[in-house]
Structure 1
Amino acid sequence: MTASESLDPVPVIDKDGVRLTVEEAVATVTLTLPAKRNAQSPALWRALAEAGASLPGSVRVVVVRGEGISFSAGLDRQAFTSEGFEGEPSFPDLARLGDADLDATIAGYQSAFTWLRQNDVLSVAAVQGHAIGAGFQLALACDLRVAADDAQFAMRETSLGIVPDLAGTHPLVNLVGYARALEICVTGRFVHADEAERIGLANLTVPRAELDEAVSDLTSALLAAPREAVIETKALLRGASTRTYADQRAAERAAQARRLRDLAGLGD
């Protein structure tokens, strides 16, 4: 290797089907179980949560991707067996927990997804192949989604007698509206890439061979604006749906005051 050739970044985390690498302002979270189409498990969720907790303060954009032909085919079917995963509670075990313990357990699972929405980073899902159930919810956890033309999204939980509980229902309704979200969840049907872009699930759809390049271009564009302005803008937009018109205008004024004072060197 010559001096001009760059080395692959050393993983910050590489375990339980999750690899986190960081290159300056960009972190990449990769699901690394291609033989299982990146099926998810509680161990993988803990690794995802650890990845979020391990981000250096320099990171501004997080790209989430999956190795192989699929982004993530959802929850590993082993979860539906009576044995479940070794060392993990099975579904019957979960059902026997008290209310507080069951709530805390599911909240722990959700923490694998919720950090991708925090205001100080922008998150991008690079979706190819299947994004089913937990895989769909991982894509929904991200701020933006770039889909390859072979991408297929489906929410299969209701068809299996359970519900989507990995923090995906809120962004899904915000993106496509209540009626369409209900239809997608209850039917469990596939939403193909062209429809995903048309209804707002995907920000962009590209040929599979161009997915990496498209994500790289988007990442560069996201890094162009000053970081503090991006953080304030994301916070404004995330809160807009829960504020009244008057409250949103007040939030805009307060955010702009902070930005003007900061630019003038008068911030805290």
Structure 2
Amino acid sequence: MARTMRAIGIKGGKGPADALFVDTIPVPAPASNQALIKVKAFGLNRMDLLQREGQYPVPPQAPSTLGVEFSGTIENFGDYAGKDFAVGDNVFGLAYGAGIQLSKADNASAIYVTAGSQEKIDFCVDKLGATAGFNYRTQDWASEIQKATNGRGVDVVIDFVGATHFQGNLNVAARDGRIVQLGQMSGSTLPAGVDISGFIRKRLRFEGSTLRSRDEQYQKKLRDLLVEHALPKFKDGSFKIFIEKTFPFEQVAEAHKLLESNRTKGKIICTID
């Protein structure tokens, strides 16, 4: 009889948080250069919300099972001749890094954030080390960043929000700056009146990026960079991991609802007994 395991399923294939349930599916067989991980805990990601709602196309090489951030132990391998890992090793993948802390570690001259509440802004400044933060609900955040930089703007903009921040991103980007789009929480259709002249006037670069659909070689390079550059800082405590709340695996619907509330500051974790 084939081995089975528990996994998060979605009733009807897509839907609201209440459509989530604990399903029973066959245990996958690891292919060449893959490992089978017995997951002990996993973190929620905005991508999980989009996938649950049917708005995130799953890459061909990825399973439809929800979840991308995990920690656990290696149970077995496919055809693997490497020496980096062994059965029983504790491992994690796509763990939370806090981009503010990475920027600070690389000696960024200033780090500005936008958030929807003063509580989140205080968290980013007091706990993570941002220079200043601005409330996109109550402030003209782009104008405030321009004031803070004496009109110069910022060299790199990293945006997860999308449509509603697009014009502001163009406004705050410095000459020869770069805008990196990593998400589209507010949608992908731009509002009327967006002025794209800044691309030419400031010689701006705009690029989008994803991780899950990248090939194995790219992901390996990124993993090696994480191990070399960030992992030592997690070990010595230089980088802090902030956890908002931990849920048992069976309460994943409640965990999704909390993430959807936009009240969270740290990671939401689900644990598996």
Between 1 and 2, higher relative CO (CA 8 Å, sep ≥ 6) is seen in: 2
Q: TM-score range by the shorter chain?
A: under 0.3
Give the TM-score, by structure 2 length.
Answer: 0.24
Give the TM-score, by structure 1 length.
Answer: 0.24
- The structure whose residues are more often strand, as a share, is 2
Larger radius of gyration: 2
